[in-house]
Amino acid sequence: MADPKGFLKTTERETAKKRPVPVRIMDWKEVYEERDGEVIKRQASRCMDCGIPFCHQGCPLGNLIPEWNDLTRQGLGEDAIERLHATNNFPEFTGRICPAPCEDTCVLGINQPPVTIKEIEVSIIDDAFENGYVKPSIPERLTGKTIAVVGSGPAGLAAAQQLTRAGHTVAVYERDDRIGGLLRYGIPDFKLEKTHIDRRVRQMQAEGTLFRPGVNIGEDISWADLRQRYDSVLVATGALKPRNLDIPGRDSEGIHFAMDYLTQSNKTVAGDDVSGRIDAKGKHVIVLGGGDTGADCLGTATRQGAKSVTTLAIGQQPPSERTEDMPWPSIPNLFEVQSAHEEFGDRKFLSSTVQFISENGKVTGLEVAETEYRDGGRFPKAGTERIIPADLVLLSLGFVGTEGDKLVEQAKVELDNRGNVARGSKYEVEDGLFVAGDAGRGASLVVWAIAEGRAAASAIDEYLEGEARLPFPVKPTDQPLSVYT
Amino acid sequence: MNGVLVTTSPFWRFSNYPQTEDLYDPASEKDSCGVAMVATLRGYGGNDIVQTALGSLCNLEHRGAVGSDAGTGDGAGILMQIPHKFFKEVVKFDLPEEGSYGAGLVFEDTDGSVREDQRLQLAEIFSQEGLSLLGWREIESNPDVLGDLAREAMPHIGQVFVAGKNGENDLELERLLFRARKRSERELGLYHPTLSCRTIVYKGMLTTLQLQPFFDDLQDTRIESKMALVHSRFSTNTFPSWPLAHPFRLIAHNGEINTVKGNTNWMRAREESISSDLIGDLQPLRPIVTPGASDSASFDEVLELLHLSGRSLPHAIMMMIPEAWEKQRDMDPELKAFYEYHSLLMEPWDGPASVTFTDGSLVGATLDRNGLRPGRYLVTDDGLVILGSETGVYDVDPAKVVERGRLQPGKMFLVDTTEGRIISDSEIKQKMAQQHDWGKWLEGNRLNLRDLPEREHVRHSSASVERRQHVFGYTEEELKEVIGPMATKGIEPIGAMGTDTPIAAISDRPRLLFDYFTQQFAQVTNPPLDAIREEVVTSLSSVIGPEGNILESDSDHAKRMIVDFPVLDNDEMAKIRNINQPGVGFTHVVDARYSVDGGAEALASRLEELCLEADQAIAEGASFMVISDRDTNRELAPIPSLLATSAIHHHLIRQGTRTKVGVVVEAGDVREVHHVAVLVGYGAAAVNPYLALETAEEMVRTKQLLNITTATATAHLAKALGKGVLKVMSKMGISTVSSYSGAQCFEAVGLGQPMVDKYFTGTISKLGGVDLDIIHQEIEHRHLRAYPIEEFEQSGLDVGGELKWRREGPPHLFNPETVFKLQHSTRAGKYEIFKQYTNAVDDQSEKLMTLRGLFKFRTDKTTSIPIEEVEPISEIVKRFATGAMSYGSISPEAHETLAVAMNRLGGKSNTGEGGESLQRLTNPETRSSIKQVASGRFGVTSMYLTNADDIQIKMAQGAKPGEGGQLPPGKVYPFIAEIRHSTPGVGLISPPPHHDIYSIEDLKQLIFDLKRANPSARIHVKLVSQFGVGTVAAGVAKAKSDVILISGHDGGTGASPLNSLKHAGTPWEIGLAETQQTLMHNGLRDRVSVQVDGQMKTGRDVVVAALLGAEEFGFSTAPLVVSGCVLMRVCHLDTCPVGVATGNPVLRERFSGKADFVVNFFEYLAQEVREYLAEFGFRTLDEAIGRVDLLDVNRAIKHWKGDGLDLSPILSTELPAGERKNTTQQDHELEKHFDQQLIRLAETSLEDGLPVTIDLPVSNVNQAVGTMLGHELTKRFGAEGLPESTIDINLTGSAGQSLGAFVPKGIAIKVVGDVNDYLGKGLSGGLLSVRPFAGSQYQSHESVIAGNVIGYGATGGKIFVSGVVGERFLVRNSGVIAVVEGVGDHALEYMTGGEAVILGGTGINVGAGMSGGIGYFYKLNTDRVNEQAIASGELLIQGLSEFDQERLKKILQEYVDYTGSKIATDMLDNFDTEKDNFQKLVPSDYARVLEIRTEAIQTGADPDGSETWTKILEVTNG
């Protein structure tokens, strides 16, 4: 019973206000100002409650978006969080850091700015926490079955929560000192303050999930041992093997993988004393790679006080509107201005790095050339080379699979040709061993990780109990709608 | 012992019905007809009366029909007095005096020795019944006049004479004869057209013209009678039977009893409780209603019983077909008491009926309450009375006529031939009303639910409500989309875009038993009713409690309880549960739960127990029975309320005790209109949907529903459900709940025959399906959800997804993937992506989403060929059409895009119901080639029809068969209003029925009219798939349609109530197969083209349809999706976000479709078809048509429900040899049309526009006079026509139906005499006038001179009638100025424009649904204006302004000039005083909108501009 004319009454898309750039780069807090509940309601009223809600398909979790949009419009927050939690264990994460394929697939988006689904989502969960609607859901009866979840990123946590609630005893292993995986150390606080993770972990602990941080499976406990100790094991170790750029000068000092840089920064922000940490203060920083991680590096370097930050992308600048080869509702590759881009720095496209220039083993600059598309590949165009100065170079060129050497060694696991753990249609690797999230899919979105975690939990529960009792939102092979599939 | 058991019904003997295993079923046969009655008041009989009757019959020929074998008629006959003088002379034995012997024809076995034996046995029966055989006479007949089929089925016809042993006569003898005849039929299988001492019938499988030549007796001038009834039958098939010809023993009937299944069941149910001292032991005569009898025959049998057991014939008729007494404000209370008393005895036999009846001395006719059949009569100064379906059936010197009248709804016309006088309706009814003190009998006996003591309301806890919601499988979607809206608004919610989820029979998820039943609906052979605008003739009340012996009358019979509404709230339910008081009786509650762990056996045995429990309770004297599934718990699950109810209902019918208790159902599973309707249809008198009501309360408490109290919410919900049932009933043409109850107007799809036979006896379930085992599994599945074995976080109800797609919900054929791929492939021009789309759809189809998905192609029987050898895409696309979507329902952009694309391809687009702009009509690029004619007739003008390639009559549409449509005020934008000839901002309604099609012969008439409005256009008739659609199609083929379109239940782009969208009609696979089979059985297939539509999406769909017998294919949703539609399902809200289904200019801007995309779609589709054809080795699509042998269903169906499903009837290959496709054309007999001479005589006008005057005689067989001439004129002079009266035609006589239909400006037709129905149908600017003969003896304002439904859908011109006219005058008029001297019921219904002047009295319900135009009434009885419209302020009754007075004067003056009307002349002469006797009736919105627009023009603003539009919407709430 959504207001059928809501989208005609409110035609503007109103997004949350960000704090002024000079103010926000002074701290690490989230960039947004406090939300205006009226704006949220008004935006929720733009939802058309579609006959085919493509957003509900566009979201890997299958979030019941029309349902909670309408409940938000009506101010029924408690019902809204119930519907939201029905498909999403951690809306406070996705509501902050998901690139929102739901909004790309929003039907209103065919010819109008889409509904601000993501902001509605985060408002629902934030209000729910504030009003005490989020309570531990403790299983009435335990099955006696035990499960180890390796990796405490979004996939591992989602699986753990689902399985715990189904009555299993679940232990989550994390090699880092804190729970959260990529959420914890891969994403800067200005995008996701870590209190959100802590709050959720507290709920999970109350439900009975066991957390074992600082234990590196494969090193501290072998995979084989782990298999012996638990009825089932879920691998959710992510796909953290970074793509390298093997060109002359690569071994110079001052060239780092983005994730190393971000992890250190995040630890520092968390109050740890990180010795020898990479710092951008006063430096000319070059970020190689124009993706999300690149933007995170940019925002971090900005806050550390970099003198300049230049983001180099090898490809051309994406269009700002959909083109014929990315029709609605496929997920478009558009030129995107993230909050970090608003704050500081330059972005250069069609920039191919030829070599790193160094003096005394320390990087001082990059030789870059214009990218030339040739023979289906991208090459530096001869004669366009130039040198740009750099004190710190951060490589955010994507990931090439999971760090699975030990896993392969100690368990009966094979990697596929993309460096991910090979698996079957129910996330199974072998009897009792499952894999979910980036470790199986390759680097992807948090929302896919949660969806896989939920689905893998369903598969594990079925494996242990003999019947499917939990929702199974995505298959391992599911992909977003695209003109190429 | 009752003698030999006769297995074959006498009605099926002497017939040509094929015995088949396919979808054709003789039980679906319908018929319709013309009737006439002739009587004399002079007191003595004569051969002249017989001859007049037979002559009248010949003039009704056009109302009957012939089949594929041109010589075989559907049936004709005559009923008259025993021609004693004649018999005395021709029989070879002595006859006693007149009235002391019985005689009658006997249809006997053709084998002489069998016959000898039967005659001996018959003599024995006579003897046992106190009769003695006088002798036999052989009937001389002439079989050579018959057609082949009729001759093959012809019985031997003998005539028997018999007398009472004790010299009995009249009624006493009649009763003996009745007993003997019944026994002969039961025991010997003979058929006696009559066996009576009063009357005799001659009939057979004859055409009207064959009746007299066939029987020598009828040619003998010695045959004399004081009265005669004649009848001409139009059956939907070509193999009618001899016995089913009319007249029957007491009646001849034109119409259809829709509730006959219920009525016959109830008769069966009361057989144990009826007895008659007068007739004697009824046991050997049972069953009262012969199995296999037609509705008319069954009616006759019951009427005969009621009459012979002591009631007069008029009394019995009034019992069976009561007039609408419930809501009549001015009915005599004594008469009302009569009707109310009898309503406690027997449910009405409901349906369109014109019954002529006689007991040999009284002869009369009556119409049902809706008055949906025509009847006209005249009386001459020498005492001759002629009544017929039409005026002019017999040539009578007009100077001798002293009275002309018509049958009126619910009224009786009666002639006493003995007394020699006409008895008026009021005299008969007064006599009946005073026969007993009915009112006193009622008082103190009958009880109303209201009278029972109030009960405290019980509130259930939230947890309890939720638990039980799980038990009954409630979903979030149902709360949000179904229960919530009903509780808020009190009306049933609307949906759009049809349904594309699996039907229950092949749905993977557990479904409610209700979902296996689909609603039947009226289509062609009878009309749906208009339950909203004509609510005055409906009744929702029913009676519960024990019924007495209906063959007797006493005050005890009134001891029953009246329930005013079929849906009870929880407190009312509590009242009924707690009845226990002397004189009223007590209530027994049947506990419909079973031990769910015991499985299907426990369910079956519990059902047995329930039946025994019911027997026990009845034995103990229970008067009321509540079937309840309350108090379910972990162990005891609810039996589906429908299963429990129907099981008990049928058990009690079999026990003969059903009428001893009233059954009320307390059901947790009920939450939709459909659910209540099915329960009532299977015997519940009322239903208490307690959990739905508790859910509504809970939703209010949890603030899911705002600004409403719990009491209002539940009242709204009950109201919405109950009123919804009325609409479901009216779709079937049934007006009262008491006759709908138990009428079983449903078809089962996917229920196994054993289960149907046992629990739903008599229900059609053509494809077999699930048994109790699966029903149990479905219950168990829900039960486990409510009472899970393992408890963990899984709160909340299921999401749903039946209406709107959800990932967790049921699959939809259109889902994100298929919509995306279809749009992308056609827009980007990628055939390979299109193949992905079709693969995805076909794959889902195969996963048991559609019946066609279950078929496999048999390519092993043929040899494939290279695709290059297959006919090209350009040939195949010619067979494609887009569906009927009106200009207005979809945006001009979308509408034109489809038209442009189809024109470019050489396919066909369809205007839909909404007209077409002149610019497009005449532009070959943008016009729609198919012009639709629907019930609203919007924009249907001579110009529109003349510019059609095909004209499509929409009898029903898939999304909402049997219902009308509505364009809400906000969608009637100025550009829409212009084309629809209506007012911007004023809502438009299409009535449920075509008001000129109440029967098959009416459809034949419309086809006739339209063919003459454009002789080169093909005429289509669009039907919706349901059981019996094949027989309807056969009838339609016989009515000379060129194309028959079978629509699936699932299609429909427009708005529709959810119950219709989901629960009415069947998949096209079934309907198409049945149509193909029936047409072939009838030898009619070659003369029509068959088109199919309904969720067709892929090349595979096209090929399946072709193999099943279709040669043309329609698509609606898919091309819309190509044009941008994303299945928002908000077409009804005008908020389509992609500009497809909206008129909103802002949203129309967002339309992104292009004709190129649509062209791509159809070319891709054709390419895919070619690929399949190549695989089959067919070079053309033609080769594939009807090759059902190439479909296979034998592969294993791996589905937990699929096992019992048997699709072989769809694929039956045992069809008679003959064409499988269209190879020839209908013979429309255009060259014989009256207009040929008009066209010849008007040549100078047509060539040069010069005036011409034509004088000709006319008779009732000349139909649609002027229509073809009008077409010729429009063809030459366009929409403007010629100056008024350029072609001036003067006709003398009784003109046939549809005089002046669609006649354009420039033609004037002036009749001296009288005219039949549909005068000025679709009048498009012409002038029509009717005046009586100069020498007439009667007063024009007291005599009926023109028939029913005058000026239907007319858009312009003038109609002047000096006399009284029939029902529904000017229905849906939008531009005509008309003047008459009096009107029948429902005048000015749905009028949207034009002016009406009514100088005399009116019938009831004036101005229902009137949204435009003005009516001027002389001395208006305001009680007769539609009550709701006055109460709500929709209609205003005002005095005349000065402007009005001038206007009226001008119109009257012109009227007098044309007709010479005496009363109008007088009024004009005294206009100063008479003007105050006039009142003006005007719709308030219309008045305000006109005011705003006038104001805009005066202030220089644009009347069509957005500013004015906003103002308009403010006043009309658009």
Q: Helix B1029-1038 and helix B1068-1081: axis angle, to 10°?
A: 50
Alpha carbon B138 to chain centroid distance? 43
Burial grade of B1240 (CB within 10 A; 0-12, 13-18, 19 or more): exposed
Q: How many CB pairs under 8 A join A and B?
A: 127
| Residue A100: per-residue pLDDT | 96
Cα A222 → chain centroid: 28
Mutating which of B479, B820, B971, B1142 best tests the A interface, going by the most A Cβ atoms within 10 A? B820
What is the pLDDT, as a whole number, of residue B11?
64
CB within 8 Å of A48: residues ≥ 6 apart = A2, A4, A6, A7, A107, A108, B1128, B1130, B1135, B1137
Provide, as residue numbers in chain A, all residues whose Cβ is less than 8 Å from the Cβ of B827.
Answer: 327
Q: Is a pLDDT exceeding 70 seen at residue B16?
A: no
CB contact under 8 A, B1135 and A48: yes
Other Cβ atoms less than 10 A from the Cβ of B440: the count is: 12
Which tokens hold the place of B694? 């508790």
pLDDT in tens, B342-397: 999 999 998 888 999 999 999 999 999 888 888 999 999 999 999 998 898 898 99
The helix/strand count (H/E) of chain A reads as: 18, 15
> B120: pLDDT confidence band, cut at 50, 70 and 90?
very high
Is A82 in Cβ contact with B823 (below 8 Å)?
Answer: no
> Which range has the top average pLDDT, B203-207, B1390-1394, B1512-1516?
B1390-1394
Alpha helix segments (H runs only) across B1214-1322: 1235-1241, 1243-1248, 1267-1277
Higher per-residue confidence, B162 vs B1038:
B162
Chain A residues with beta carbon closer than 8 angstroms to that of B804 = 49-53, 66
Q: 3-class SS at A57?
A: helix
Q: Residue B532 has what pLDDT? A: 84
Nearest residue in chain B measured CA to CA from A61 = B807
Distance from CA of A39 to the nearest CA of B (A): 21
Contacting residues for B1432 by C-beta, under 8 A, at least 6 apart: none
pLDDT band at B2 (very low <50, low <70, confident <90, very high): very low
Check B806 against A48: CB less than 8 A apart: no
Among B1092, B936, B970, B1087, which Cα is nearest to B1029's? Answer: B1092
Higher-pLDDT residue of A214, B913: A214
Total residue length of chain A: 485
Q: Is the pLDDT of residue B65 over 90?
A: no
Q: Residue A92: enclosing H or E segment and its boundaries?
A: helix A91-97
Select from B747, B739, B340 the least CA-distant residue to B529: B739
Mutate to test the interface with B, among A7, A11, A52, A483 (most CBs of B within 10 A): A52
**Which residue type sits at A384?**
T
CA distance B230 to B39: 12
Cα nearest neighbour of B1151 on chain A: A111
- pTM equals 0.93
A1, A67, A473 member nearest B484 (Cβ): A1
ipTM: 0.95
**C-alpha dist (Å) from residue A428 to A167, A170, A229, A431, B895:** 21, 18, 18, 7, 52
Q: Please name the member of A49, A51, A330 whose beta carbon is closest to the beta carbon of B497.
A: A51
Give the list of residues 6+ apart from residue A278 with CB closer than 8 angstroms, or none: A256, A260, A261, A264, A265, A392
Q: Side chain identity at B1108, as an amino acid letter?
A: L
- Whether B1126 sits inside 8 A of A50 (CB atoms) is yes
Which alpha helices (H) appear in B549-598, and where do they start and end?
A: 570-577
B369: which 2 tokens? 């309450």
φ, ψ of residue A49 to 5 degrees: the values are 50, 60
Chain B contact set for A322 (CB, 8 A): none
pLDDT tens per residue, range B1357-1391: 999 999 999 999 999 999 999 999 999 999 999 99
What distance in Å separates residue A371's CA from the closest CA in chain B?
29
User: Cα angle at B1366 between B990 and B51, to 5 degrees?
Assistant: 125
Contact B441, B334 (CB under 8 A): no
**pLDDT score, position B22:** 72
Per-residue pLDDT in tens (0 to 9) along chain A, 485 residues: 578 899 999 999 999 999 999 999 999 999 999 999 999 999 999 999 999 999 999 999 999 999 999 999 999 999 999 999 999 999 999 999 999 999 999 999 999 999 999 999 999 999 999 999 999 999 988 999 999 999 999 999 999 999 999 999 999 999 999 999 999 999 999 999 999 999 999 999 999 999 999 999 999 999 999 999 999 999 999 999 999 999 999 999 999 999 999 999 999 999 999 999 999 999 999 999 999 999 999 999 999 999 999 999 999 999 999 998 899 999 999 999 999 999 999 999 999 999 999 999 999 999 999 999 999 899 999 999 999 999 999 999 999 999 988 999 998 899 999 999 999 999 999 999 999 999 999 999 999 999 999 999 999 999 999 988 899 999 999 999 988 76
User: If you count DSSP H runs as helices and E runs as strands, how many of each does chain B have, helices first?
Assistant: 49, 53
pLDDT at B183: 96
The continuous run of DSSP H or E covering A389 comes out as: strand A386-389
Answer for the pair B84, B197: CB distance below 8 angstroms, yes or no. Answer: no
Instruction: Pick B640 or B23 by higher pLDDT.
Output: B640
Chain A: residue whose CA lies nearest to B818: A481
Minimum Cα–Cα distance from A49: chain B residue: B1128
Flag whether pLDDT at B162 surpasses 60: yes
Mean pLDDT of B981-999: 89
pLDDT value at residue B239: 60
> Helices B831-844 & B1155-1176, crossing angle to 10 degrees?
70
Task: Give the CA count within 13 Å in the CB-facing half-sphere of B284.
Answer: 21
- Assess whether pLDDT exceeds 70 at residue B69: no
Higher-confidence residue of B522 and B51: namely B51
- In chain A, which residues have their Cβ closer than 8 Å to the Cβ of B795? 82
- Exposed/middle/buried for B67, CB within 10 Å: 0-12, 13-18, 19+? buried
Q: Which residues contact B1382 (CB under 8 A, 6 or more apart)?
A: B1341, B1342, B1363, B1364, B1365, B1398, B1399, B1400, B1401, B1402
d(CA B295, CA B288): 13
Lowest-confidence region among A102-106, B598-602, B761-765, B925-929: B761-765
Angle of helix B1000-1013 versus helix B1267-1277 axis, rounded to 10: 30
Shortest CA gap B363–chain A (Å): 59
Query: B747 vs A453, B633, B744, B760, B765, CA distance in Å?
Result: 47, 32, 8, 10, 6
Is the pLDDT at B834 greater than 70? The verdict is yes
Residue B745 known to be catalytic: no
Nearest to B881 by CA among B1061, B1167, B1091, B677: B1091
Taking the Cβ of residue B197 and every Cβ of chain A, the question of whether any pair is shorter than 8 Å is answered with: no
Check: CB of residue A190 under 8 Å from CB of residue A24. Answer: yes
Q: How many CB atoms lie within 10 A of CB A336?
A: 13
Q: Residue A40 has what DSSP assignment?
A: H
Q: Is the dihedral of CA B901, B906, B912, B914 positive or negative?
A: positive
Q: 3-state class of B1044 per DSSP?
A: strand
CB-nearest to A52 from B703, B808, B819 is B819
Percentages helix, strand, coil for chain B, rounded to the nearest 5? 40, 20, 40
B922 to chain A, closest Cα gap in Å:
34
* Helix, strand, coil percent content, chain A, rounded in steps of 5: 35, 15, 50
Q: How far is CA A78 from CA A75, A82, A85, A135, in A?
A: 9, 6, 11, 12
Structure tokens at B1110: 């279709």
B1457 Cβ contact partners less than 8 Å away, ≥ 6 residues apart: none
Q: Which residues of A302-317 are buried (b: 16+ CB within 10 A; e: fewer)?
A: bbbebebbbbbbbeee
- Other C-beta atoms closer than 10 Å to the C-beta of B1157 total 23
Q: Inter-chain contact B804–A139, Cβ cutoff 8 Å?
A: no
Instruction: Tell me which chain A residue has its CA closest to the CA of residue B797.
Output: A83
- Residue B793 forms contact with A (CB below 8 Å): yes
Q: How many residues does the structure list for chain B?
A: 1518
- pLDDT tops 50 at residue B1149: yes
Please indicate if any CB of chain A lies within 8 Å of the CB of B1135.
Answer: yes
Cβ atoms A133, A360 nearer than 8 A: no
Who has greater pLDDT, B1204 or B512? B512
Q: Is the confidence at residue B1196, as pLDDT, over 50?
A: no
Please determine, for residue B899, whether its predicted confidence score (pLDDT) is greater than 80: yes
Q: Residue B19: what pLDDT? A: 60
Quote the mean pLDDT of chain B.
92
Answer yes or no: is pLDDT of B890 > 70: yes
| Inter-chain residue contact B804 with A4, CB threshold 8 Å | no
Cβ neighbours of A66 in B, within 8 Å: 804
Burial of B991 (0-12, 13-18, 19+ CB in 10 A): buried
In which band, very low, low, confident or very high, does the pLDDT at B70 lie, cut at 50, 70 and 90?
low
d(CA B1349, CA B747): 33
Give the pLDDT confidence score for residue B1055 in this predicted structure: 76
- Cα–Cα distance between A408 and B257 in angstroms, integer? 79
Residue A6 CA to residue A8 CA, distance in Å, equals: 5
pLDDT band at B1199, cuts 50/70/90?
Answer: low
* Interface residue B348 vs chain A (CB under 8 A): no
What tokens were used for B1177?
């080795």
According to the model, what pLDDT value does residue B279 have? 95
The predicted structure's pLDDT at residue B5: 31
CB of B833 less than 8 A from some CB of A? yes
Residue type, B585: G
